[in-house]
Amino acid sequence: MTDESTLLRLLESPYWQVREPTAKHLDATEKVLLVALKDNERRVRCAAAMNPNATEQVLLKALKDKDPGVRAAAARNPNATEPLLLEVMREECWRVRFAAANNPNATEKECWRVRFAAANNPNATEKVLLVALKDNDWRVRCAAVENRNATERVFRQASIDNDARVRKAVAHTARASTVAKIVAALGGWPCDRV
């Protein structure tokens, strides 16, 4: 087991190639991860946000990062709680752009990635997935449907989505018996809409 003081010294290295694996280290404590989240290198902050030892405090700090990639890493962390995931799902694009104002690579195209990561999280509850189904990006809605925690209610709501890709995800993801119930309840599979 590597002690906290050693990991903190490694985070002082001038080389991100040393700091990134330190932030990934399985012995990293909350203090180590919070220090790593202050790093100038995005890869180090992403590693800290994805660390399996990340506490709610670490994940909340990562969600405030200016880089959408770091925020997406926090949203993907298996330790993310329902309140944290709901906060991510409510993030509006203007807030993502505002938070990422110092990052020239953050564009509106990046906005969906954070919400996609939350919808893809293995801890996402039905409540989180239902919020994701209201997203304006079809990829986020598909992630909600493809989440292993998707319920019949999620499938039912997604089966009437305006985008054929989301409805196709229901057909490919839901159990056959669930699809049959949905089709019967709707009086047939919804026609493709323009």
Instruction: State whether 129 and 161 are in the same domain.
Output: no
Instruction: State whether 117 and 24 are in the same domain.
Output: yes
Give the pLDDT band (50/70/90) at residue 192. very low
Q: How many domains does the chain have?
A: 2
Average pLDDT of span 46-56: 96
Give the pLDDT band (50/70/90) at residue 54. very high
Instruction: State whether 52 and 87 are in the same domain.
Output: yes
Determine phi and psi for 31, rounding to 5 degrees. -60, -45
pLDDT mean across residues, the chain: 82
Taking the C-alpha atoms of residue 14 and residue 41, their distance in angstroms, rounded to an integer, is: 11
Would you say residue 60 lies in a domain? yes
Angle at 100 between CA 114 and CA 74, to 5 degrees: 35
Query: Which tens digit of pLDDT belongs to each residue from 103-153?
Result: 333 345 556 777 888 888 888 899 989 998 998 889 889 999 999 899 989
Instruction: State whether 122 and 175 are in the same domain.
Output: no
Instruction: State whether 99 and 170 are in the same domain.
Output: no
Instruction: State whether 86 and 178 are in the same domain.
Output: no
Would you say residue 193 lies in a domain? yes
In this prediction, residue 109 carries a pLDDT of 52
Instruction: State whether 113 and 155 are in the same domain.
Output: no
Query: Which tens digit of pLDDT belongs to each residue from 61-110?
Result: 998 898 888 888 888 888 888 787 777 766 653 333 333 222 333 345 55
Instruction: State whether 157 and 122 are in the same domain.
Output: no
For 179, the domain range is: 151-194
In this prediction, residue 145 carries a pLDDT of 92
Q: For residues 176, 181, 182 and 183, what is the CA-based torsion angle, rounded to 10 degrees?
A: 90
**Contact status, residue 50 vs residue 73, Cβ threshold 8 Å:** yes
Query: Which tens digit of pLDDT belongs to each residue from 2-11?
Result: 899 999 999 9
Instruction: State whether 117 and 191 are in the same domain.
Output: no
Instruction: State whether 18 and 108 are in the same domain.
Output: yes
Instruction: State whether 74 and 161 are in the same domain.
Output: no
Would you say residue 143 lies in a domain? no
Would you say residue 4 lies in a domain? no
Instruction: State whether 24 and 70 are in the same domain.
Output: yes
**Contact status, residue 50 vs residue 20, Cβ threshold 8 Å:** no
Taking the C-alpha atoms of residue 80 and residue 17, their distance in angstroms, rounded to an integer, is: 26
Would you say residue 142 lies in a domain? no
